[in-house]
Amino acid sequence: MKPVKHWLKKGCILAAMALAICSNAADRPNIIFILADDYGLDGVGCYGSDRFKTPNIDALAASGLRFENAYCTPLCGPTRCLFITGRYGFRTGGTSNQSAKNPKASEETSIAKVLKSAGYVTGHVGKWRQMSGLPGDWGFDEYITDPTAGGYYWNRTYIQNGKTVDAGKEIYYPDVCHQFAVDFIKRHRDQPFFLYYASHLVHGPIVRTPDSKPGRAAGNLYADNVAYLDKQVGDLVAQVDSLGLREKTLIIFSADNGTAGKSGTIGGRQVHGAKGSMWEGGAHVPFIANWKGVTPAGKTTRDLLDFSDLFATFAELAGAQLPTGVVLDGHSFAPQLRGQPGQPREWIFVQLGAKWYVRDQSWKLNEKGELFDMREAPFEEKLVTDATGSAAEARQRLQAVLNQLNPASGKNDSAPPKRKAGLGKGVLKRQPANSPPAGNNAGSRKKLKKANR
């Protein structure tokens, strides 16, 4: 018979192993990713919006980490492809709204499937189009969605877990989505979950919300939609809090592209470019991360990130294995979420159709070889015509990145999306500081091309 000392030693080892396993599980947060639609920096209070107040989104930033340099793509479809696959558009073929259906679930590994492999239950809420198939095809266990890539608001029907549901009366679809999200969280509170909350707000058509006052002028309805988006963010956070899950849950709020029509102002200065353009206002979006007790509270970071990074970050936080045999473009920012310096990106890449650019903290180089001084971004982008000194070094450095990526050899659209590209080349033509953002009303939103919704 072995001595008691042996069994005590063995028991201590087993206990330590069990503690390590439990600790590892506790370190794996629930993940909620809230993705607003057509919502640029100029629409968010904590980013300095001159027009809109967003107290609930601001509160998320005040107790979390706000990223000042986060980039998606300039349109809805390719942004969603980028996030779901963790791969740049020229690799998957999802480079524009027209081609966002090209990536197939049978050919690409989705972030939902990766998290499922790590024991997460996965849910999707809201907008799915323009991507191919349905959320279930891409690894989401439960989902609610709809048949359109545009705004989907006052309707009778929607799609839930592959079946069309007829409510029998007109419903405000964002409320149905929100309730589905809350129910999903409640039912899965005792296991790790991933919830992708893809709001239709504030995509056009801009219509009344349940909180809009009777007779509200059409020109004021955009503000109502921003307020309702903010309200739903606040309620979702409160629901997570009431379930005692805040310390176990990472909540990220961002947007799929910039403001539609024309961007608004921040501190009296108009953001350069908007949705659909390759200027700063097209892809530079708000990005707020909040994991209570883990993310540094009330801090901001200038670290660069693009939407391919979400894949790598979520996988690391979940302790999931990354897929092999494919090129993934993301860099994990999990260390920054924990208050550590990490290894920040040196550049980000943005593509829309046959146009692209690579950007670092101060410079941007596009597919035409045009170099821009970005030190006054997001308000000004100065075309550099005489690249000497630091500009010459930047051109050489960024060109090396483009040479390595080689997007021209990938699965690209044959032509850029047919859409006005915002303001012209060079320095921004300024609007009066008190000029309201154009495009933020029902009339101008209806003029957006259907193909880009």
- Structural domains of the chain sorted by starting position, each given as residue range(s) with its CATH number in brackets: 29-346+432-452 (3.40.720.10)
- Segments of the chain scoring below 70 in pLDDT: 1-26, 414-453
Distance between CA atoms of residues 320 and 317, nearest Å: 8
**Bridge partners, 14 (sequence order):** none
**Bridge partners, 396 (sequence order):** none
Contacts of 180 (CB under 8 A, 6+ apart): 125, 144, 160
As given in the structure block, the two tokens for residue 363 are: 């410079």
* Residue 36, helix vs strand vs coil: strand
Tell me the per-residue pLDDT of 371-385, one tens digit each, with 9 for 90 and over: 999 999 999 999 999
pLDDT at residue 149, as a whole number: 86
pLDDT at residue 15, as a whole number: 37
User: Beta-strand (E) ranges in 228-386?
Assistant: 249-255, 265-266, 269-270, 284-290, 299-306, 348-352, 355-359, 363-366, 371-373, 382-383
pLDDT at residue 249, as a whole number: 98
* Residue 176, helix vs strand vs coil: helix
Pairing assessment for the beta strands 269-270 and 265-266 based on DSSP bridges: antiparallel
Tell me the per-residue pLDDT of 233-290, one tens digit each, with 9 for 90 and over: 999 999 999 999 999 999 999 999 999 999 999 999 999 999 999 999 999 999 999 9
What are the DSSP calls for 343-359, one per residue? ---S-EEEEETTEEEEE
- Model-level pTM? 0.87
